[in-house]
Each structure stands twice: as structure tokens, then as C-alpha cells.
Structure 1
């Protein structure tokens, strides 16, 4: 059968189908080449470099688990308590996971810190635990997009009073010295108005009380200052501002939290 093309020209049906097939193949090749050259972007936030994949075979504690290949993994960017181990188990036990992070170097306990994605999930397990109120953001993630993502998930749980946040005293008052001292050795969130910022030797002190030897204060070492400067935080500008700080409580005369990363300090309400 001939196909009329006009102006006295004809082509066979076979030739027409052949040309159509070549065009279709060419279009597919262009699409595939574009996909290879421009792979789909990972979700924003905590999607770092791929650090491994595998199946979770055992839960060690509220933020650590063991992989089938023997690796022990610690969830990066969050802090939890032993009471919340079941929350992690419900999300990852027996599941295939993808590990992402800025490095696969183990911590001092031999665990690999990572952001953990179950199968093809767009957000890490950390976000789910925070949104459920089963964890606190550590404030130690240097990547701004990731840190903001974690804090947003935590804030959603706090506003909805889920998990940890059902306790109205989950955030300690900076003026309640005794309540903070009762948390020595524990990761704690403290909120209050900064009275003064002073430097003594190689350490800067963010003071929340007049009795600096007894009242709560945040300490920042000189070696940590570049992280705050890079984040655009001037310590002096915090005076008379209400802030929220997170970290491990120590007793050095009065209760102290050492801040090594800018993300450990955030502006609170009423500023």
C-alpha cells in the first residue's frame, strides 16, 4: 500500500512505519541520555552521600542498631533516652535501609553515624522520631538545611504535645538551677533570657543569672567560635534575648552546657 505525500510523491506503508520507529527510538535515547546526565535530585535537607545499604537485624538502644553485615549504626543528629527504644524498633527492625552521611568514619564506640532511610523514603528515620516526640534534635549538625529540617520536625511534635512534649517541663527554665542540676549527665533543653556574655581566658560564658559561679550558663571554647562566626552569631548580640540551648548538663560550680555547634543555640519566643 502506498501513502500519498502530495506534490506527486508517495511512500510505502512499510517505509512510513520504519521512519516512525526510528523517530521513537531517537526520542527514547534523548530521554535516557538526559536522565543519566541529570539524575533525579535527592530530597533536600539530610540527604548526604550514600554510605551503605542493608537489613537491620537487631536494635541496640533507642538510637542504635546492628546491620546484617555486622555494622553498628548510630542515628546522627538526634538524642534519645532508653525509654524510646521501641520507637526505633517499630520503624527499622527487619527492614532494608539506606545510610547517608558526610562521613562513614566510626565514633569512639565503633558505631557508624548516619541518617537512615527506610527503603525509598524521602525523609530519614530521624525526622519520624522527632515528629513523634520520641527524640530531640542534637543541634550538632553543621549542614544548615539538615539542621533546619530536624528542628522543624521537633517543633511540630512540641506544638502538638506528642511524646516527650506531653511533659510541660520538658524544657527546663534557665532560672531553675535545681531542675537543671538534676539532669547532670543527660541531654537537656534549657530556655531563658540571657543576662550577660563574658569571656574568661579561652572560654566565653553566656550567663542566665548574676551569680556566675552558681547559676546556669552556656560555655563556648575559643576553638568552637569559628562555627558561631560562620553561622553569623555574635555572642554579645544575645544579651537580653530569650534563647533555647541544648546539650549535656555538667556541674562546674553551677550547671553548665557546653555549646560546640551553632545549632545548639536558637532564638526562642518573645524576642
Structure 2
């Protein structure tokens, strides 16, 4: 389980505002220093955002998701940064997740930038929404924006951000953490679910869904569903298919408002 500073908290919806920031004044990594959990050496990378330490523990990089479908490329990028290097782990809780991996913000010894920030700046990762600390969330969002503006890594691909006007492209990403952008045409409630509809055909077009029980969290962050109608927004999350392609919104950090009406 991720500790209090890393896991999502309904009482701390600051991450939504953080994603809107275009830049941040301090060094990226400086804002993601939590309680130090020790210095260790990395033995091997297990996937694009996990690695094994020489003492046998497996570490999961908190706050980011794998970018794109190039699994080998993602592992290679992380390997180049951490394998054989001493790293410091930061977090308020070293309890492993259900897969036995310890979530952490990680720094290569001597570096002021986290491994997460470095991967984001190279376009080799996407910002997740599991960081509640607003300074750290803003730092990671700024790192991602740097790569996006420079079209580095995944952002060199014109389809890195899926367009809601092309639902077939979104459907091709089922099961993947994906960034989707478009204009909310309507907001409708059906039972306990509110739908942000980006098209008029619910069996084909993209929609983002929010459970009724967490609507107050979005409203307190200034992201009430009705306020998003006719707005151009960017959403991120794992794509599923229920009729058309869907992303379930569980955290305010999954929404980024891109402009006025």
C-alpha cells in the first residue's frame, strides 16, 4: 500500500490544479522528496517502471505510468538510468503493494531530479494520478509538459494524445493507460454514473465516467461535471469498452482543462 503522501486522498484534490501548470520554478525532483528510506543498489530492471534491488526487493516507481506500447524500449530507458547505480528511496511507507513491490519516489545518488522526472522529461513515461502531494504532482506534470512541448519520446508520435473524434484509435488502446483529448459535448447521468460525452453515439463514441459517490470531490476541485460541458479537456486513465471506449475517472488528477468555452 502506498503511504499517505503518495496515495490518493479525497480530501486533497490539489493534483487537478497541478496538471494545469505549464512550468514550475524549482528543480523537478526537489519537490518529490519524502521521508528517506535508505540507499541501495539497483540490480536489474523488471519492466518500464519497476526494478529489483541487490537486496532482493522490487521497487515500483510511484507517480508515473508506462508510455506507449514499446515495452523493451521502456525497460531500456529505465535501465540506462538506474542499473548498477546506488539510489535513494523516498516515501512515508515502505509497505509493498499486493504484488510485493515497494512504491517509491527514487533518486540516483547525487542527483536532485527523481528518476520519475527524468523518464517524464525524456518522454518515456506518463504522469499517473496517485500522487496527492501538490508540489510533487506539479513537478511531475511540468516534467511531462517539457517532453510534450519538445515532442520527445512518445510525444514525437502524432497519436500520442488520442483524439475523441477518432474513437477507433482509442479502442485500440484498451487496457492501456492513455491520454485522450477533446470537447465535452454533453453531460448525462444514468443511475449512479455521470457520463462526460465526447460524441453523440454512446455505442461508438468516447465517454469519461464518474461515479456519483465521488462527484463531490470533483466539485470541490472546481471540476463539477456540468461545468465541463462544452469545454475542451484532456483525460488520462486506463481505456475500457462499454459500448464505445471509456475511461473511468476516480481522481481529479485525471482531468486537465485546456481552455475556455
Question: Which 5+ residue runs of structure 1 have no aligned equivalent?
Answer: 1-42
Alpha-carbon separation, structure 1, partners of 2:149 and 2:46: 30
Q: How far does residue 154 in structure 1 lie from its aligned partner after superposition?
A: 0.7
**TM-score of the two chains, using structure 1 as the length reference:** 0.80
Counterpart in 1 of 2:35? Answer: 49
Q: Over residues 191-218 of structure 1, what are the superposed CA-to-partner deviations in whole Å (9 max), with x where a residue is unaligned?
A: 0001112222222211101122331011
Alignment of 1:47-86 (within 5 A): 47-80=33-66, 81=69, 82=71, 83-86=73-76
Distance, in Å, in 2 between the alignment partners of 1:235 and 1:45 is: 30
Q: Structure 2 vs 1, CA of residues 102 and 201 (structure 1 numbering), >3 Å: closer, same or farther?
A: farther
- TM alignment of 1:139-158, pairs within 5 A: 139-158=129-148
Change (3 A) 1:108 1:227: farther
Q: 1:204 aligned to 2:194?
A: yes
> Retained in 2: the 8 A contact 1:75–1:113?
yes
Say whether the 8 Å CA contact 1:56–1:97 is kept in structure 2: yes
Matched, 1:253 2:236: no
Deviation at 1:251?
Answer: 0.5
Q: Deviations over 1:66-122 (max 9, x none)?
A: 011111001111111513111101111011111112432222211111110111322
- CA shift, 1:142, in A, is 1.9
Deviation at 1:270, TM superposition (A): 6.1
Cα offset, 1:50, TM superposition:
2.1
The equivalent of 1:167 in structure 2 is 157
Contact 1:191-1:268 within 8 A present in 2 as well: no
Q: 1:61 to 1:248 in 2, by over 3 A?
A: same
> Residue 87 of structure 2 corresponds to which residue in structure 1?
97
Note if contact 1:97-1:119 (Cα within 8 Å) is conserved in structure 2: yes
> Structure 2: any 5+ residue segments left out of the alignment?
1-28
**RMSD between aligned alpha carbons?**
1.8
Structure (1 or 2) with the larger CA radius of gyration: 1
Instruction: Normalising by structure 2, report the TM-score.
Output: 0.82
Contact 2:88 2:108 in 1 (8 A): yes
Is residue 207–residue 246 contact of structure 2 (8 Å, CA) maintained in 1? yes
